[in-house]
Amino acid sequence: MKPRGTAISSALVRPTPALLNKGNLTTMMNFSRRRISPVQTEETIDYKNIDLLRQFISEEGKILPRRMTGLTAKQQRAMMRSIKQARILGLLHFIHTEE
């Protein structure tokens, strides 16, 4: 009897013989997609750049997580700091309002 919560398909655990014979397994395992940052290198994350900050806030006014924005951890921390600072200074709303 299987323990509960282990619903891993067998296709993910064992590669098919066709993949092993062709040598595709090593290329599939070594392939990693390079992530392109949504913030350009010359663009600085600043509390005064309201147009940039609004791209990373949801419709409800929440700060979007890294997995949705694609930012690096360092950029996400800077973005979070800038959004909070802009909210405190009154440049951004704490909640979503129709404009």
In sequence order, what DSSP letters do the residues of 42-56 get, joined into one string?
T----TT-HHHHHTT
Evaluate if residue 1 carries a pLDDT over 90.
Answer: no
Evaluate if residue 4 carries a pLDDT over 70.
Answer: no
Q: In degrees to the nearest 10, what's the CA dihedral of 48, 51, 59, 47?
A: -20
pTM: 0.61
Domain segments of the chain as ranges: 38-99
pLDDT digits (tens, 9 = 90+) for 48-68: 999 999 999 999 999 999 999
Q: What is the mean pLDDT of residues 15-28?
A: 58
Looking at residue 23, its pLDDT comes to: 58
Report the topology of domain 38-99: 30s Ribosomal Protein S18 (4.10.640)
Q: Are the C-beta atoms of residues 35 and 70 closer than 8 Å to each other? A: yes
Q: How far apart are CA 52 and CA 43, in angstroms?
A: 9
